[in-house]
Structure formats: structure tokens, C-alpha cells
Chains A and B, each alone.
Chain A
Amino acid sequence: TVFFCISFTSPHHLFHCPQSNCIMTSKYNIITFLAVNLFEQFQEVANTYFLFLLILQLIPQISSLSWFTTIVPLVLVLSITAVKDATDDYVSLWHTHIAYFNCQAPLHTEICLQKEKWMNVRVGDIIKLENNQFVAADLLLLSSSEPHGLCYIETAELDGETNMKVRQSLSVTSELGDPNNLAQFDGEVVCEPPNNKLDRFCGTLYWKDCKYPLSNQNMLLRGCVLRNTESCYGLVIFAGPDTKLMQNSGRTKFKRTSIDRLMNTLVLWIFGFLVCMGVILAIGNAVWEKEVGALFQSFLPWDPPVDNFLFSAFLSFWSYVIILNTVVPISLYVSVEVIRLGHSYFINWDRRMFCSRSNTAAEARTTTLNEELGQVEYIFSDKTGTLTQNIMTFNKCSINGHTYGEEQHMAALDFSAWNPLAARDFCFYDQSLLDAVMEGEPAVHEFFRVLSLCHTVMSEEKSEGELLYKAQSPDEGALVTAARNFGFVFRSRTPGTVTTQELGKAVTYTLLAILDFNNIRKRMSVIVRNPEGRIRLYCKGADTVLFERLHSCNHELMNVTSDHLNVSDGLRTLAVAYRDLSEEQWEEWSEHFRGADKATDCRDDRLAAAYEEIEQDMMLLGATAIEDKLQEGVPETIAILSLANIKIWVLTGDKQETAVNIGYSCKMLTDDMTEIFIVNGHTVQSVRGGAANCMPDESKCPPPQAPPPSLLESIKYFPLSLGQAHALEADMEREFLETACACRAVICCRVTPLQKALVVELVKRHKKAVTLAIGDGANDVSMIKTAHIGVGISGQEGIQAVLASDYSFSQFRFLQRLLLVHGRWSYLRMCRFLCYFFYKNFAFTMVHFWFGFFCGFSAQTVYDQYFITLYNIVYTSLPVLAMGIFDQDVPEQRSLEYPKLYEPGQLNLLFNKREFFICIAQGIYTSVVLFFIPYGVLSHATQSNGVPLADYQTFAVTTATALVIVVSVQIALDTGYWTAINHFFIWGSLGTYFTILFAMHSSILFNIFPKQFHFLGSAHNTLGQPVVWLTIALATVICIAPVLAFRFLKLDLKPQLSDTVSMSVTIVCLS
């Protein structure tokens, strides 16, 4: 194990070179920006490729194009990317400034207390913090102004939890309150290396020949804010990038969309195609130079290094690589980024995904995944806080075998009459429970006592009787509030005591130990000594866990209670128990506990074992049921998404009954699903049996006829089947997947966060489908990061899920809009964009190929070099961008009305290899027409004044103009939604083409640079001829008419649903 050793005998003799606290979250500064950014950009394969082309172009024997035909687009692309990087960076730099330069903190070095900027703080420094200050490094709390070395912190920035937490210094250091004493402090901390675990810290302090264990309880992490504490002193343990907050930031995995991957494959294919074309033309050149060129030597001798036709062919290959490189357009990647950015902004701007209650708009946190939103097949959803509101209300309880709260339609009870401390917004309807409390039934009293004592809630009493609870989880808050209203009011706590008011009488319990909650234990306990001196352990936790640890005499009560729990209608239930401890038992156990607590290795495991030891033989008191209301619009959303052929799997940590009930209430499970399979088993064999049972049934009833069975998987066996790599377990995986995928609805219960990720991973790996994970809590982070798309619900459980997500919003129902409207459009637009983009570049480039057969394969271009430079970046870029950003095939409300419209995306119909080849074929066809029609006409034609039109410049202008017009007509045909912007860009591009053409061919430019602008007068002479226009018109008709005919045929014979819908829209508009 690597240990970090921080010694601070003297600040100047540090064991390690101390880490400074200066964090550059921004990557660049003004001086290095250009170099660093360029270096990063040239790490992209595409950019390097274009640099290589540029170098090729500088070799005069090869250079078939001027250097600027590559450098202008390259510089443009690089600068757009650089500007984007710079703005991103500027934003983070701005945050850095906020974080570091606005707050000055007193820094304590040597003896004098001095103010220092945070960025100058180093590991080993001792820092004084004042109330409401922001902690900017990971500190070991040394002492505090509050008694017992306590201090309170708020960790909202760290984990999103808004409740306050207590931190306590070691008692040996808390005595060093005085700065002068602190300066004498010379200890050594040995701790774990920097990591990203926010809730764990393990270390030891060596001081004055003694060892003191350090835990998370002693740490103030960067990102916290000091509250309710006048001041405190801390020792810097981790600074700068080593802090836990910084270790947690940064995306772990870079996600790519399937379109991205397809695009990369296609670009590779195009490279292959380019090389093939080059080889064909080079062979042609070899043959030509041998047969014809050799004879032509008296007019044009070979260049000095060329001595035979083979070498000439070799050079010609590279020349053609340069010319034909435009089939792989440099602007492709940048255009795709721009389009995605536009789509992301549309998501951010969508008012219908704005939640006015929480004042949050939807946010696309990643800008690179939008089109994949249109291809989702599987949604993995968390339950609590995602489907439900995560606002808990105490609804029912079962105490000592008697249930309360069954009746819901009576008037709400009025607590304030007899309990001045009651919370006003608490509603309960069953008078009998209140009566039981009044009558002093001991079980009921003990029940509420547990609720008022066994928790980690902090209370704040602004004025007498006005209590405010800050709870880590809403369940806990709901339970403590319930206890409060029934007369067991939790008032305040210190690290060693809990003060409550029991039926008007203040009681202070000594808190001996807190056996904290975690996901594995699924329970928490407190051990308290009441004023009479009796020691008791109070425990609350998941019923399954708790029932195993009850005393055997509870058997009957357990059965009754468990019956009550089974009819709990989707409520969240907890069982409540206690255990009396004798003084000796406590002494013995606390010895164990201290040993475990001090251990440096496997501390958590040892603690868990110690807890396990004491939580035995407990006496059951009863159970609580808390209602978690469904979010607005959840059933409707699920219904629409299912209609869109999206399979929704709910993965929840809750128990089976709760999950099934939620499944019914959100219409995932319906009554027509007659066969519900519950696969439940503790061993691989029993699970296999359960899964096998439902398989034959499915083969009997194929899905279309009968309602497919729905499956409920309780995946206790999952650690076995997914965690290990045995053949047997791999078998299980497939069986599980096959069974689950045959079902209409799948609910997995009792899933740990890791298992959630494993399920997602499993589907991702075997189904080759796009997965989306949606969740709100820290337990969903792994699944959100694993899925293709992670969606975070910004809700009650903090912001960790949001921070890990790609998209975030505050209501589950926005998911339908994100997928069916934004996702669908993004996919459609991206596909149309890509089709057109490849088409236009092939149409443009392949003309050179045909010309090669007429110009002796000499790599002469067809067009003017300026046209080649500007074609992709000026003449044809904006219309297709406008289409890629604004296009719509059907109005947004239609895509929600007809969820089936979503299917083409899932089946990947709009852009795949087949569509790509169709585009390429169309491009090549266009290039054939664009070359041979002008060739046929112009090679014989003359102007009306007798001057032949067969000169190269006329041909170049005619072909270029025809090309621009044809691709403009094509984009006009492809654009389905003509906004003013589309009009502006399409007409503007045409206008720009003619303006630039005439400007480039003007005598003004020629007179300045005669060599560069030698096309003088061509535009004028060519475009003034009717025969040229007749040629262009003919070429356009021949290029476009077949496209029109095929599209009409397709529409007529095989209309897609979107065609039908948009057609009906048109008819509605007309009528």
C-alpha cells in the first residue's frame, strides 16, 4: 500500500515536496494558448492528415493545387475549434478566479498569523477558518472554537446534501486552541494516497509517541462551507489537484455516439476509396506517359527528377491524393460539432422542459450525444426520486401487531392542540394511533422513541418551538417529523447526547454509539443510555435484514408484522426494533468497537463485523410505511415511451413488493399482463429453475398474439452471475438477458449501485442497442456513467447524479420530450446532414477523376483553385448547416402523438452503410453528369461571336457553376422545413458564389496579382453565353429529375409513417 506521509515538524523541512493549492482548472494561459491548443488539435488524426497534405502540396513536383486550398480550410477549422476551446477555458478560468482570488484566508505559518491567498497554501500549513468560509483544501480538523472540538459543515457543493454535518477534532489536538500552542504542534500524519472517495478517510496521526486514528469524521474537505462555528484550525492534508473534490471531478469516460463510430469507419473507407482512385489514375498516368506523353516531350519535357513514366506515375499518385482529398472534407467534423452544439442549445432553451417549481431548465451537459437520443432502445430507470418525487410522507405504521393509518379519508388530525412543537404540514388521519399514544401504551411510546432517537438528523431551533430538521435522506426526515407530532420531539444533539421532549417532558439521552447506515447493512442503530442509566440499542432498517436479527420470541409478532408489510401498496417500509444491553455487554462490545475503529487496514470491514455482533437478539416493535408519491406524468410518459418501442427497465434497491406496486401505479405493469414471472433465488440453480420456468411459456405464446409476460427479477443471484467469469455464470447472463428481453416490462429489485451498472453493461454488450440510464441519486452514478446516455434528475438527493450525467432536468416526464422530440429531430437532422455532406463532396471531387481521362492523368484540376478552397467552407457549408440545425419533418406535437415515429432511429434506418452508398452513388452520378454534359456541349460549341468555348477556363466556370446550382437544388429538395434562415443561407450561398466568382475574375485583382487571378474575365465571358446556361440547366435537370422520381416513388409505394403524418399535417393545414 502506498501511504502518503505528511510530516510537519517544521514547515520548511517537509517530507514531500509540498503540493501547492493552486489549481489550474483552465488548461491554458494567454501565452501558451496557441502552442498548447495547436498541439492538442494536431493530435486529432484528421487534422494531422490535412497537415500531411499541406506538406505534400509544398513539393513542387507533386503540388497539383496551391497550398492555400488546404491551408485556408485548415486554418478556419483550427481557429473555430480554438475559439471554442478558448471560450470553454475562459469560463473555467473565471470560476478559478472566483474560487481562489476572491477569498483570502488567514494562513498560519511559524508563529505569526498572516493573511495569504488560498492558492499559496501548501500541504503541512495550518489554516484558520472562520464561519461561513469556504474550505479550499482537504484539512485535518485540529481544534475549534466550539466545545468538544466540534464544527459544522455544509457539503452541498461536494455531494449535494444540504443538511449540516458534524466534524470533530481529535481530543488531543482540540486542546491546542491557542495559535501559539498550535505553532508548537509537531506531529506526523500517515494516510492513504489521494483518492476520490468522499465519505472515507483513513490515516493515523503520530504525535508525542502516540498513535491516533484519523477518519472522515476529522476531515474538512475542499468544497465544504463552515457553518455555526465561530472559527477552527485545520492542517492541510491534501491541496490542489489532490483534494477529494478535484479527484472527483472530470469525466471518467469519453462517450461516443454510434453515428460517430460509423462516421469514422466511413471516413476510413473513403480513405481507401481515395487511395484506389489514386492508384487507378496513377496507372492511367503511367500508360499515358508511356504511350502519349513520351511523344509529347518536345513540347513538354518531363520535370528534371522524372526520368521514366513509372516515376511520373508515382508523383501523379500523390498529386491525385491532394486533388481528391476533398472527398474527406476537413469541415465534416467541425460541422458535426456545430450542429450538435445547436441541438444542445435547443434542449437548454426548451420551455417545455423547464420546471417552474424548482426553477430548473433542462441542460445538455454533453454536447456530443444528441443524435443518439433518437436511437434509444432501453431505458434503465431508478425508482426513488426518478419515478417518484422522493418527498416522503409518513403514511402508516404497524406497532406491536396492530396497524394504524389504514383509513385515509377522514379529516386530518390536529396535533397542535396538545403538542405545541408539532409540525404544521404533517398529515395523519388515524385517530386511534393518537389515542394509543395518549393512553400511554408502552410499545407505541417505545416505537416513537426509536424514531426520535435513531437517526442522523440535525435540528436547528431558530426560536423557541420552531424546529427545523435537516436530514440526509427524506425518509429519515419523515420519520423524525412523525415522532415529533406524536409527542416524541427531537430537539437537539451534541456528539455525546440527544435531547428530546417526550410528551412535554425534556429528556436527555447519552449517545454511546451510532452504528451508521450504509447500502450493505441497510439498517442503522444507536446505543443510548437513558436518564435512568439503562442502556438500550435502537435499530431501524429494512425488514428482511432486521427480521434475521430478531430474538426468537418475536416469531409471532414478526409474522403479523410481515403480513402487514406485504399489503403495503408500494410504500417504503422499515422495521423498528430495540435491544436491552447490560452494562457488561456494552463494556465488552465497546472494547471491540474501539479496536475496530482504530484499525488502519480493513477498518470498514472490522467495523461492520463489530456492528453485526451487537445487532442481535433484538425485540421487534413494529414497522413504518412511508409513501413516496409518483411524479407528475410518469404513467403517461412510460406509456408513450413503450409505444415508441423503448423498453423500460426499473432498477431499484427497494424490495420486491414496493417495486411491483410502483410498477402497477406507473402503468408499467398492467392487469392484462397475466403472467408475471418472479425469478427469485438465492443460488444459481434455483434462479436457473425460475428462469427456465418462464421460457417455455414464451415459446408457446409468441409476443404479437398474446400479451407478453412481464418479468420481475429479484436478482439476488447477480453478484454470482455477473461478478465472476466462470462459464456457468456467463451462461446465466445470457439466460437472464434472453428472459428479460422477451418481457414487456422488467423490474429488478434489491440491486446495488454496482449491479445497476452491470445490468446496463450486459444489455449494452449483448444487445448492441443504445441504452439510457436515468437516475437522481449517488447510487445511480455508476449506471449513468455506464449507459450510452446518462440522464440526471436534479431532485432531492443532491447533484452527484447530475454531475455524472449527460443531460439533466428535474422531472421524469421531460424524458419523453427529450427523446421523442429533441432526440428524434437530432437524429433526423444529423442523418440528413451526413447524407448530403458526403453526396456534395463526392459530386464535387469525382469530376476531377473523369477529367483525368482527358488530361493525360496529369492531375490537372477541373476548377479554379479558389473554387476548390471555398466550395466546402463558403459556397455549400451554411445551407446544410441550417438544415442540420433547423430541419423538422413533422411538428413536435405529432412526434408525441405518434410515438412510432421514433422507430427509424432505433432501427438505424436513416443513416447506415446502405444509405451511405446510396449517397455516394448519387454523388458519383452527379459528377458524371457534371463532367460529361459540359464536355459534350463545350468541346464543340462556340460563343455567338465565333470564339470557341472549349477553353479550359470556360469549362471550369461552367462546371463549377453547374455544380453549385445542382447541390443548391439538392439541398432545397432535402430541406423539409424552410425557415427564413434556410432561405437566407441557400439564396445567400448562391449569391455569394456569383459575387465571389465575379470578384475573383475581375481586372482589379488581376492587375494586382496577375499570376494568382489569371481567370480574368472568364465569369463574364462564360456566363454571358446562352449555351452555357442551357448546359447548366440541362445538367441540373438530369441530376435532379431521377432523385425526384425515386423520392416520389418511395413516397408513393413505401411511405414511412413520418411521410404520412406530415402529409396529414399538410392536409389539415389546407382544409
Chain B
Amino acid sequence: MGKKQAGTGPLSRRPDNSAFKQQRLPAWSPSLTAQTVLPTFYILSLVCLFLGIWLFITVENTYELKVDYTNAGTCERCFDLRKHVIASKTACTCTVSFQVPKLFQGDVFFYYGLRNFHQNLRRYMDSRDDAQMVGRKNNLKAPSSYCAPFDFDANKVPIAPCGAVANSVFNDSLTVVYNPADGSEIQVPLYRKGIAWYTDKNVKFRNPPTNDTFTLQQAFEGTTRPLYWQRPVYELDDTNSNNNGFINDDLIVWMREAAFPNFKKLYGVLNRAQGPFTEGLPPGNYTLSINYNFPVEPFRGRKELVISMVTWFGGQNYFLPIAYLVTSGLILVAAVVLTMVYVKVGKNGKNMEE
């Protein structure tokens, strides 16, 4: 070990006198003194307090409304109907009334929420083929083996999109009707587009190549729709032909798996262009009418509609401000205790045994 210089002379093997080799590199040695630690604690506490209060005020002015429609209103019937997967082909619609107590000012977002639905199971999350969904011709008809058993149907026809995730897509359609005091019915206009990540919509999900003569339907020829779907993938949206295939917004939203079993996903954004909705969602009575397709009874789940306002900080979220306030309080307590210990019994870093 150790390189020996070839030279001769009495000091030829003397190690170099470099700061590195002699472990004398200039260095900064911080130490935890009262002068640094105590102010840090007080400042941290103050910062947390400030953030907590600010966030709390912001959240206080953000409203959120949840309407559980699993078996509410007239949905009891549909709920029973969907108990059996076999009956999934029969259409069922129902309505639920609800009240908006306060004006939801500004942009209002409509979500569907699911409880107890595990999108985060390992095999579930693996059961998809991103190469297929990016529109690669080769992968379209040769779905990944991870998609099994949702890769081929009984006749060995490849499924597009394959996999458990796509197969279980949320397929209720929701319509909200505003019932003003005058007895009229105004359908709440929703933007159903632009509800997915930009990268998802434009990069991650692509249709197989089409042109004027080669339609989307032709592109998907030789594949079949997923088992639980009522329509093939190229006919998902009747109203907007650009929202069909893999780039369907609802599909993309669903394909972004939730991390926890209780989650909500964006359904639409209030179109404030006209009528009573220019300010936001006015208070009053509303009716939610549902095209009830998605079965939740088998896994003891719940479905809900979530209506929420959004600020710079996002939707209503009490956890963060409260967490900040609690942290601030705890740090303050710690700071006070530390100060007292330091003043009363502290040895100021001096070892008394010496």
C-alpha cells in the first residue's frame, strides 16, 4: 500500500505536504450552540405559525360539497341492479337532489369520488400497457402480458386498451341541474375537456396514426373493447370526435391511478360563460342525475359527487394548515423548554467532570 516515490535521498519517501493528505483541508465546523439552536427554534415556530394561519384563512374561504349518491335518492334501484356484474348491460338512470348553501365563487370543479376502490394494488397498477396506449401499432394488437387476464377476449382478439385499469374505468355519467327558486331547470354547463395533465393528454396517450381516409375505427380494427365497456374505445364521446380513442379525457383521468383507496377524480369544470354561473355556482337547489353504470356494491364502495372551489393552494384541505399550526405550537413548546433548560440547568457545553 501507499505509493513509494522512485526517487532516492533521505526524504524521498516523505508524504506530500498537501492539505488533503495531511487532513488539514479548510473546513467549517458548525456546532449546536444556544446562540444558533434557540433562535432557530423560535424562528421555525414563527414561520410555521404564519404559514398555518395564512393557509387556514385560505382554506376557510374554499368551499367543498360532497354528494354521496351510491344509494341515495332514486339510486337505490340502480344500486341493487348493479349488484350483479351480469346485469351491467342494462341501462339505469336515477337522480339525487342536493343543496348548495353558499355561493361557490370563481372556478368550480366537479369530481367523482370513490371510496374503498383500490387503484393502488400492485397487480392492478401493473395491469396496463403504456406502449399500447401511446398508439404504437405493434403494441396495439400485442398487448403486454401484464394485462392478463384482460389482454385477449375469449376469442383471442386483443383488447384495446388492455388491462385491469382500463377495464374498470368509471363509466357513470353525471349531469347537474340547477333548480332556481322560480322552478325552472338549468343544466349546469361543464367543460369536460382539459381535465387531464398536459403531458398525459399530449405525450403519454396517443391514438394509433389516422388520416382523412383512415378513420380511428379502422385503426382499431382487429381489437376489441374491454370486457366491462359498453362502447368501443373509438366511440367514447359522441359529441366530440377528437375526444375518442386513447386520448379520451375521462379515460386518461382514470388511467392516472390513485394512491389511496378513497379518491376523487376530476369530472368537469364549470363553464362560466353564461347564465347564472358567471360568478360561480350560485346557492340553491340542485339535482344530480346519474347514468348509473359503475358497480360499487361488490367491493362495498361508495360513489360521490364532489364540488369544490380552488385557490392558489388547491382545493379545500384542512390537514396542512392544522398540521402547520400544531407543529408551530410544538416547536414553540420545545423552544421554551430548551430555553429554560439552558438558562436554569444548562452547562453551556462545559463538561463538569473536567
- CB contact list, A350-409 vs B, under 8 A: 350-351, 354, 356-357, 359-361, 363-365, 367
Q: Is the CB of B312 within 8 A of A947?
A: no
User: Which of A473-481, A485-493, A872-880, A1003-1011 interfaces with chain B?
Assistant: A1003-1011
- Range of interface residues on A (Cβ < 8 Å): 35 or more
Does A1049 belong to the interface (CB within 8 Å)? Answer: yes
Q: Is the CB of A944 within 8 A of B122?
A: no
Q: Is the CB of A952 within 8 A of B120?
A: yes
Digit string of B1-37 for contact with A (CB within 8 Å is 1, else 0)?
1100000011111111100011101111111111001
Q: Is the CB of A349 within 8 A of B22?
A: yes
Digit string of B299-315 for contact with A (CB within 8 Å is 1, else 0)?
11000000010111111
Q: Is the CB of A1027 within 8 A of B320?
A: yes
Q: Is the CB of B199 within 8 A of A1017?
A: yes
Q: Is the CB of B320 within 8 A of A978?
A: no
Docked CA distance A842–B125 (Å): 25
Does A689 belong to the interface (CB within 8 Å)? Answer: no
Tell me which residues across on chain A come within 8 A of B33, comparing CB atoms. 1063, 1066
Q: Is the CB of A944 within 8 A of B314?
A: yes
Does B46 belong to the interface (CB within 8 Å)? Answer: no
Does B181 belong to the interface (CB within 8 Å)? Answer: no
Nearest-CB distance from A356 to chain B (Å)?
Answer: 6
Cross-chain contact of A943 among B17, B314, B331, B351 (Cβ < 8 A): B314
Q: Is the CB of A296 within 8 A of B308?
A: no
Does A1059 belong to the interface (CB within 8 Å)? Answer: yes
Q: Nearest chain-A residue to B30 (Cβ)? A: A978
Q: Is the CB of A944 within 8 A of B196?
A: no
Q: Is the CB of B15 within 8 A of A351?
A: yes
Q: Nearest chain-B residue to A938 (Cβ)? A: B259
Q: Is the CB of A303 within 8 A of B122?
A: no
Does B347 belong to the interface (CB within 8 Å)? Answer: yes
Does B85 belong to the interface (CB within 8 Å)? Answer: yes
Q: Is the CB of A1055 within 8 A of B350?
A: yes
Nearest-CB distance from B80 to chain A (Å)?
Answer: 17
Q: Nearest chain-A residue to B11 (Cβ)? A: A356
Does A933 belong to the interface (CB within 8 Å)? Answer: yes
Does B118 belong to the interface (CB within 8 Å)? Answer: yes
Tell me which residues across on chain A come within 8 A of B133, comparing CB atoms. 1010
Q: Nearest chain-B residue to A291 (Cβ)? A: B300
Q: Nearest chain-A residue to B52 (Cβ)? A: A1034
Q: Is the CB of A947 within 8 A of B196?
A: yes
Docked CA distance A939–B256 (Å): 14
Does A980 belong to the interface (CB within 8 Å)? Answer: yes
Cross-chain contact of A1063 among B16, B31, B257, B317 (Cβ < 8 A): B31
Tell me which residues across on chain A come within 8 A of B15, comparing CB atoms. 348-351, 354, 361
Q: Is the CB of B48 within 8 A of A1037?
A: yes
Known: A950-B259, A952-B125. A296 touches B12 (CB 8 A): no
Cross-chain contact of A952 among B34, B41, B258 (Cβ < 8 A): B258
Known: A858-B123, A952-B257, A1021-B199. A363 touches B350 (CB 8 A): no
- CB contact list, A950-987 vs B, under 8 A: 950-956, 976-982
Docked CA distance A363–B334 (Å): 50
Cross-chain contact of A856 among B121, B197, B203, B266 (Cβ < 8 A): B121
Known: A858-B122, A1034-B320, A1045-B334. A1010 touches B130 (CB 8 A): yes
Does B55 belong to the interface (CB within 8 Å)? Answer: yes
Q: Is the CB of B131 within 8 A of A1011?
A: yes
Cross-chain contact of B319 among A886, A940, A980, A1060 (Cβ < 8 A): A940
Nearest-CB distance from A810 to chain B (Å)?
Answer: 11
Q: Is the CB of B2 within 8 A of A1010?
A: no
Nearest-CB distance from A374 to chain B (Å)?
Answer: 15
Tell me which residues across on chain B come within 8 A of A951, comparing CB atoms. 256-259
Q: Is the CB of B200 within 8 A of A359?
A: no
Known: A936-B319, A946-B107, A978-B27. A359 touches B347 (CB 8 A): no
Docked CA distance A322–B327 (Å): 35
Tell me which residues across on chain B come within 8 A of A1051, comparing CB atoms. 32, 349
Docked CA distance A160–B261 (Å): 76
Q: Is the CB of A1034 within 8 A of B31?
A: no
Q: Is the CB of A888 within 8 A of B23?
A: yes
Does B77 belong to the interface (CB within 8 Å)? Answer: no
Q: Is the CB of A977 within 8 A of B27?
A: yes
Cross-chain contact of A363 among B2, B107, B199, B261 (Cβ < 8 A): B2
Cross-chain contact of B317 among A937, A1011, A1017 (Cβ < 8 A): A937
Docked CA distance A303–B127 (Å): 11
Does B231 belong to the interface (CB within 8 Å)? Answer: no
Does B93 belong to the interface (CB within 8 Å)? Answer: no
Beyond A854-B261, A935-B260, 15 additional pairs, beta carbon < 8 A = A296-B121, A299-B164, A299-B167, A860-B125, A944-B310, A944-B311, A946-B308, A976-B29, A977-B28, A978-B30, A1010-B133, A1020-B199, A1052-B34, A1060-B351, A1062-B29
Ordered by A's residue number, 19 sampled pairs between the chains whose C-beta atoms are within 8 Å are: A295-B298, A298-B295, A348-B15, A356-B11, A359-B12, A361-B13, A365-B1, A367-B1, A854-B259, A948-B264, A1010-B131, A1017-B197, A1017-B204, A1025-B314, A1026-B313, A1049-B341, A1060-B350, A1062-B29, A1066-B31
3 nearest CB pairs, A to B: A1017-B199, A348-B2, A349-B21
